[in-house]
């Protein structure tokens, strides 16, 4: 019994002797963005491989493993080396890793990692740098930040991964295509970013980064040199911009000019008149709001403004049955050169309607009789003649009125039918009653169908009620 117990203790001791877990890194101090390798050395009979996705608060970039088997005193033992590559951005601690070995959970030791700020190199095989055309700007003022990547002519890269600068607090108005050129012993690649600050205060353009894979020789224990691939990060400098606020009530900054063009200044009633507003200049054009005005009795449609380079364009359409005036359009902006608030405006444009309905004036004439020398003996004859003339006139008038009413009734019926089928005719009739919400709804549909070439169906029941309501 004692022999069996001693054998059990010896066997357990031997397992414990071969079961082990250790952790190490190839370096404890790195620059921000540089990679380091964390390794777990695990030995034992039965090993449950750990599932590791993050170390030191950062994601695993790559993993590798190596397995060894050995026999000591007739006992087989497995040994694993698990390697993980990470690129920490700040100082951190790799916490202990739990691994199950031979049914028992083991913990590795913690390892502290010190991450130093990335050094911006002004010489070397690869150089990345940022330059700004301005150090102080106003909110919305445009300026350029130039990114330059320099590579020595005699060097080569197997692969690269580029991360552009971070533009938090800026609008990116334009990004140029990469331009390559030679300068001394370097081949340069330049990208120009056109920016505008969003708010006052200190704004920072964060550094750009490029990760480059290059081939380096590595000596083995038996003296043979084999090529290996090594990745290295290169960082640019950061750019600090001081941003000043604009004067109160002004959101535009730069230098602009404004113009309006119309197709013609005389149109028919309810004919669509197109106008184009153009604003040109250097500044935050995208902050200009729609120019759509309000004109009593005129329907106005606006398209979304379009900004292309240094020009903003907006199209407006006017529809009216009476003369009207296109108002003056203007913008207020802060001139950077003069440091003054300026305002520019277009001229008013009168528009005349050629076939509008004239207002009928009712003229009442008063007839007077000044002949006081009418003889008494002629009165019966005159009276009889007048009575006959009046009777004939009244008879003719009644017949004429009846015929006119009949024709008008036929015309109205015909017009009503044609109005339903002719959208422009119907629109012109309904414009007089657009204060009615239901009429306004139908007008909006008609305008979209006529002038925006849409095909929206009108509620026939609603239209019938409206026509009946206003006796159209």
CATH of the domain at 276: 2.60.40
pLDDT digits (tens, 9 = 90+) for 245-303: 999 889 999 999 999 999 999 999 989 999 999 999 988 898 899 999 999 999 999 99
pLDDT digits (tens, 9 = 90+) for 93-112: 999 999 988 889 889 999 99
103 and 25: one domain?
yes
223 and 130: one domain?
yes
173 and 205: one domain?
yes
110 and 143: one domain?
no
Question: Is 384 a member of any domain?
Answer: no
Contact between 323 and 353 (Cβ < 8 Å): yes
The answer on pLDDT for 414 being more than 50 is no
Q: How many domains does the structure of the chain reveal? A: 4
424 and 460: one domain?
yes
88 and 178: one domain?
no
Question: Is 82 a member of any domain?
Answer: yes
150 and 222: one domain?
yes
Q: Which domain holds residue 231?
A: 126-244
> What is the reported pLDDT for 8?
41
What does DSSP assign to residue 229? E
Rounded Cα–Cα distance for residues 168 and 289 (Å)? 24
The reply to whether the predicted model has a pTM over 0.85 is no
Q: End of a domain among 196, 228, 244?
A: 244
97 and 188: one domain?
no
Question: Is 398 a member of any domain?
Answer: no
76 and 159: one domain?
no
Question: Is 121 a member of any domain?
Answer: no
Question: Is 362 a member of any domain?
Answer: no
What Å distances lie between residue 279 and 254, 256, 309, 313, CA to CA? 12, 7, 11, 7
Residue in the structure block whose two tokens are 């002519």: 153
240 and 257: one domain?
no
CA quadruple 430, 434, 438, 440: dihedral positive or negative? positive
Q: End of a domain among 225, 244, 263?
A: 244
For 116-140, the DSSP string reads EPPPPPSSSSEEEEEEES-SEEETT
Query: For a pLDDT cut of 90, what percent of the chain falls above it?
Result: 40
* Sheet with 159-163, side-by-side order of all strands: 159-163, 209-219, 225-235
130 and 235: one domain?
yes
pLDDT digits (tens, 9 = 90+) for 153-183: 888 888 888 999 999 999 898 899 999 999 9
Q: End of a domain among 116, 143, 158?
A: 116
For 399-426, the DSSP string reads HHHHHHHHHHHHHHHHHHHHHHH-HHHH
What does DSSP assign to residue 455? -
Q: What's the longest Cα–Cα distance across the chain?
A: 174
Question: Is 146 a member of any domain?
Answer: yes
Residue in the structure block whose two tokens are 């700040």: 90
Question: Is 45 a member of any domain?
Answer: yes
Task: Pull the structure tokens for residue 383.
Answer: 């009276």
133 and 111: one domain?
no
Question: Is 393 a member of any domain?
Answer: no
């Amino acid at each position: 019994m004692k022999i069996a117990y001693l054998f059990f203790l010896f066997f357990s001791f031997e397992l414990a002797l071969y079961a082990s877990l250790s952790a190490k890194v190839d370096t404890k101090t790195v620059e921000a963005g540089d990679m380091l390798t964390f390794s777990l050395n695990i030995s034992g009979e039965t090993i449950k491989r750990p599932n590791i996705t993050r170390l030191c608060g950062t994601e695993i970039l790559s993993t590798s493993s190596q397995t060894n088997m050995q026999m000591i005193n007739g006992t087989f033992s497995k040994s694993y080396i698990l390697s993980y590559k990470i690129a920490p951005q700040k100082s951190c601690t790799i916490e202990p890793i739990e691994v199950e070995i031979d049914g028992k959970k083991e913990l590795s030791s913690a390892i502290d990692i010190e991450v130093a700020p990335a050094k911006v190199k002004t010489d070397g095989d690869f150089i990345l740098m940022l330059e700004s055309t301005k150090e102080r700007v106003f909110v919305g003022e445009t300026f350029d930040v130039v990114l330059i990547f320099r590579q020595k002519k005699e060097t080569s890269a197997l692969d690269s991964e580029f991360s552009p600068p971070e533009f938090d607090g800026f609008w990116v108005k334009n990004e140029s295509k990469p331009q390559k050129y030679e300068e001394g012993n370097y081949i340069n690649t330049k990208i120009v970013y056109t920016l505008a600050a969003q708010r006052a205060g200190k704004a920072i353009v964060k550094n750009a980064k490029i990760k480059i894979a290059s081939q380096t020789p590595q000596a083995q224990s038996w003296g043979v040199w084999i090529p290996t691939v090594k990745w290295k990060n290169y960082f640019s400098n950061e750019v600090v911009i001081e941003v000043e606020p604009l004067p109160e009530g002004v959101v535009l900054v730069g230098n602009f000019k404004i113009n309006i063009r119309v197709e013609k200044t005389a149109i028919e009633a309810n004919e669509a008149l197109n106008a184009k507003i153009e604003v040109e200049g250097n500044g935050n054009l995208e902050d200009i709001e729609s120019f759509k005005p309000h004109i009593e009795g005129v329907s106005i449609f606006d398209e979304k403004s379009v900004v292309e380079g240094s020009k903003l364009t907006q199209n407006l359409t006017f529809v009216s049955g009476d003369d009207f005036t296109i108002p003056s359009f203007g913008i207020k902006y802060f001139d950077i050169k003069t440091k003054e608030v300026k305002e520019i405006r277009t001229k008013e444009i009168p528009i005349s309607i050629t076939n509008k309905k004239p207002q009928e004036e009712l003229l009442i004439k008063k007839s007077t009789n000044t002949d006081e020398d009418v003889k008494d003996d002629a009165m019966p004859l005159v009276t009889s003649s007048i009575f006959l003339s009046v009777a004939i006139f009244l008879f003719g008038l009644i017949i004429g009125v009846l015929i006119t009413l009949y024709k008008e009734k036929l015309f109205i019926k015909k017009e009503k039918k044609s109005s339903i089928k002719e959208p422009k005719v119907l629109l012109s009739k309904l414009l007089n009653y657009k204060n009615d919400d239901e009429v306004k709804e139908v007008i909006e549909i008609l305008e979209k169908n006529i002038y925006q070439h849409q095909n929206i169906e009108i509620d026939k029941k609603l239209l019938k009620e409206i026509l009946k309501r206003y006796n159209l």
